[in-house]
Amino acid sequence: MKNSVIFYPLAGGLIGALLALVWKSPLPNNLQALLTLILWVLLTLAFHLDGLGDCLDGWFGGKDSKERRRIMKGSTLGVYGAVGIVLVLISKYVLLEHLFTKTDGWKWLIAIPAGARFAAVVSCFISKPPKGDHGLGSLVLGLSFPGFLLSLLFLLALIPWFRWYFLWLLGIALAVSMVISSVSKNRIGGLTGDGLGATIELTEVALLFLACLSFI
């Protein structure tokens, strides 16, 4: 399971390649953005959105680490989680609509899911699960340094497309990963699978902002 993390960016690139197919459709930009967003959610089965919602409910809804982890493991969705998911989806739609006005926006559609999953790779390398946690996150956290470097090689394949923008992409992935890992450690004593999902979702939004600001 830990070694599977190495291939997260590659899996993200494959997801992005399917999203980029929408680029060829003759639909208006707003409909292309909507179709891309729906496909994005379907391809991931809303798995990472669920993690984001659980994290927001737990981190901001509990009084202590034990209660926060209990909330995160619950099957219900609270106000913090619901609002966070809605804001992420709205942000993605607006940013995607703008991205479809760019000449080479399809490249970003491939790179963003790959970059976001590299952020999860970073989290698996630098973070540990909370004490006593036996969830999915505990099975993938603890990536070795050689595994981390091998995963980075997959991402380096994007350099010919993005040139110096690649440094921004890499920096954002690293920054979001470290912030989420730090917040999760502070709130519940470590990182969980839900935290990895939140890392991916928030990195995707941040990279969409970068794409819309770029001049490629």
pLDDT score of 17: 94
Report DSSP letters for 96-126, one per residue: HHHHTTSTTHHHHHHHHHHHHHHHHHHHHHH
Which among 122, 109, 111 has a CA at the least distance from the CA of 175?
122
| pTM greater than 0.85 | yes
CB 155 within 8 A of CB 211: no
Return all residues near 37 (Cβ < 8 A) that are at least 6 apart: 89, 92, 93, 96
CB 52 within 8 A of CB 198: yes
- Interval 2-23 mean pLDDT: 93
HSE on the CB side for 8, CA within 13 Å? 30
pLDDT score of 216: 52
Task: Report residue 205: phi and psi, to 5°.
Answer: -65, -45
CB 124 within 8 A of CB 143: yes
pLDDT score of 58: 93
pLDDT band at 177 (very low <50, low <70, confident <90, very high): very high
Q: What is the pLDDT of residues 182-215, one digit of tens each?
A: 999 999 999 999 999 999 999 999 999 999 987 5
Domain coverage including residue 141: 3-213
Provide the number of structural domains found in the chain: 1
C-alpha distances in angstroms, 10 versus 25, 69, 93? 25, 31, 24
pLDDT of 153 over the 80 cut: yes
C-alpha distances in angstroms, 45 versus 18, 40, 42, 61, 211? 15, 8, 5, 25, 24
Q: What is the pLDDT of residues 84-121, one digit of tens each?
A: 999 999 999 999 999 998 888 899 999 999 999 999 99
